[in-house]
Amino acid sequence: MKSILSLFLLLFIIACAPEKQPADLLVKNGTIYTVNDNFDTADALVIKDGKILEIGLKPELELKYNIAKTYDAKGKTVLPGLIDAHAHLFNLGAKLQNVDLVDTQSYAEVLERVSAFQKEKNVAFILGRGWDQNDWEIKEFPTKKELDSLFPETPVALTRIDGHAMITNSKVLEMAGITSETKMDGGEVIVINGEPTGLLVDTPMSLVWNVIPNMTPEVARQALIDAQKICFELGLTTVNDAGLGRETIELIDTMQADGSLAIRIYAMVSNSKSNLDYYLKKGIIKTDRLNVRSVKVYADGALGSRGAALRAPYSDQENHFGAMITPQDSLMKLAKRIAAAGYQMNTHAIGDSANVAVIRAYQEALKGKTDARWKVEHAQILSASEFDKFSKNIIPSVQPTHATSDMYWAEDRVGSERIKGAYAYKTLLDQAGIIALGTDFPVEKVNPMYTFYAAVARKDLKNYPEDGYRMEEALTREEALKGMTIWAAYSNFEEAEKGSMEVGKFADFTILDQDIMTIPADSIPNVKVISTFVNGKEVYSHE
Ligand SMILES: [Zn+2]
């Protein structure tokens, strides 16, 4: 009798109470820029199993779900997880496995930094870079004496800022077989009182490079973890790594699977014979966190060093055109091979000549293909005739901070006419209907707020120039945000799973302390990330 009664009671409760669905997390009181087709805002979202279950207004959401946990965004700005469409994540981390000696004020400071580094990392071979004795009070080359007393057993090699000299300890000299007798053309082993001082200039440095062990898997793991930490602190949830080898891609996959790496990575395969033989045969590799479906190719070099391939000579160097790294016929062959495999081709093209060659190869290889989404990485200097060749099938992937880093000297290189087709992001967007934004870090800073600022204000971090650099090429804030979210996702064939806050997509989002869509433009670089979420989990918190 008693059990029948309680059964009745239970049925009564079920019948009367509205049925509440279970959910893992409610984020409320946010200014959520959904970046959906209408560019709607919302104030709350509900997450279950790492995906967005519903997005909208808080009161109705709170009533509808049985929520395990609530996050109060306290009126802050919530954006879809930011994507860097062109960066070098692994390189960023690898750099952190070496001692940074840039801006040291004395040799004592160099030794301090090396000791602090080793205390933290305890590596088998200490490598550092960036010292410059001209910055020091005593402007003399250092010797190995102090390094030897600090590190009698651990090899240490510290390269000068220009890469043309290196100070080493005795352990390194011993490993490399360098003695006072070592003589090499094009360089010198500095010897005082019949003994090498540890300083090597140019060619003998190669003897040291020969004995530096390959990066161990442990160090490579640490590199990825360190790089991920920086990205999460700055609100990035997906990074496109522009060129990785098989070993690193497989390590990323392993770490993502075992839970030690949470960031999502679109890994472009570096253009080498072994990589291409392997991946183009294997086909697309896609997990929730890893996307391998593209090849990174270099068409030419960089503008600063006059390596970018131009159609007419450089304006500041007579008869100099720069050079193609991959010539037109090779680009064409490569493009056909990549197209046949169903991969994307993402080609670094800086100079107008390189861009012509790349676009020509793309058009030829993509005949009859309308949704290949091949990318021109940088698309930096374009002839007027090339803009209308960009589309959702041939997508510009650009780095707005390149414009504000290069603006001081770019016109010297190309002159006042060609500069009109350079860093022309608005024109590219108008033609293509889409543009993917990135940084190229660690060449540039990682902070996506700098990308947003450079795209909309076209100024450097000192607010120069006052009225912006060639503002006719500025993007609106809405366009810049799309370039860092939904358009970047689209360029990766990932728009169905990320890039906007919509039902069914990954719960990847970034919470900022200020509203980048409304604050004065010059405040944008100072905007801080409060929280970063990947798959509904908080991976960074400011507190
Ligand atoms: Zn790059």
Give per-residue pLDDT as tens, 106-118: 999 999 999 999 9
What is the pLDDT at residue 443?
A: 87
Q: Report how far ligand 1's centroid is from the alpha carbon of 445 (Å).
A: 12
Q: Positive or negative CA dihedral for 282, 287, 292, 293?
A: positive
Q: Report how far ligand 1's centroid is from the alpha carbon of 477 (Å).
A: 24
φ, ψ of residue 393 in degrees (nearest 5): -100, -30
Q: Report how far ligand 1's centroid is from the alpha carbon of 394 (Å).
A: 18
Q: Report how far ligand 1's centroid is from the alpha carbon of 296 (Å).
A: 9
Q: Report how far ligand 1's centroid is from the alpha carbon of 307 (Å).
A: 15
Q: For residue range 419-431, list pLDDT tens digits in order.
A: 999 999 999 999 9
Residues 6+ apart with CB under 8 A from 70: 25, 26, 27, 28
* Residue 217 to residue 40: CA distance in whole angstroms: 45
DSSP string across 390-414:
-SSSEEEEE-HHHHHHHTTTHHHHH
What is the pLDDT at residue 369?
A: 96
Please calculate the CA angle 120-122-125 and round it to the nearest 5 degrees.
130
Q: Report how far ligand 1's centroid is from the alpha carbon of 242 (Å).
A: 6
* Residue 201 to residue 415: CA distance in whole angstroms: 38
Kindly report the length of the chain.
Answer: 543
Mean pLDDT (the chain, rounded): 95
Q: Is the pTM of this model over 0.85?
A: yes
Q: Report how far ligand 1's centroid is from the alpha carbon of 348 (Å).
A: 8
Residues 6+ apart with CB under 8 A from 155: 124, 125, 126, 168, 169, 171, 172, 175, 211
Using pLDDT thresholds of 50, 70 and 90, give the confidence band for residue 213. confident
Q: Report how far ligand 1's centroid is from the alpha carbon of 467 (Å).
A: 29
Mean pLDDT, residues 450-474? 98
- What is the percent of the chain with per-residue pLDDT over 70, rounded to a whole number? 97
Q: Report how far ligand 1's centroid is from the alpha carbon of 390 (Å).
A: 20
Q: Report how far ligand 1's centroid is from the alpha carbon of 13 (Å).
A: 60
Residues 6+ apart with CB under 8 A from 516: 77, 79, 449, 452, 477, 481, 524, 527
Q: Report how far ligand 1's centroid is from the alpha carbon of 330 (Å).
A: 20
8 pLDDT exceeds 70?
no
What is the pLDDT at residue 6?
A: 67
Q: Report how far ligand 1's centroid is from the alpha carbon of 440 (Å).
A: 5
Q: Report how far ligand 1's centroid is from the alpha carbon of 442 (Å).
A: 9
1 pLDDT exceeds 70?
no
Lowest model confidence (mean pLDDT) among 15-29, 73-87, 157-171: 15-29
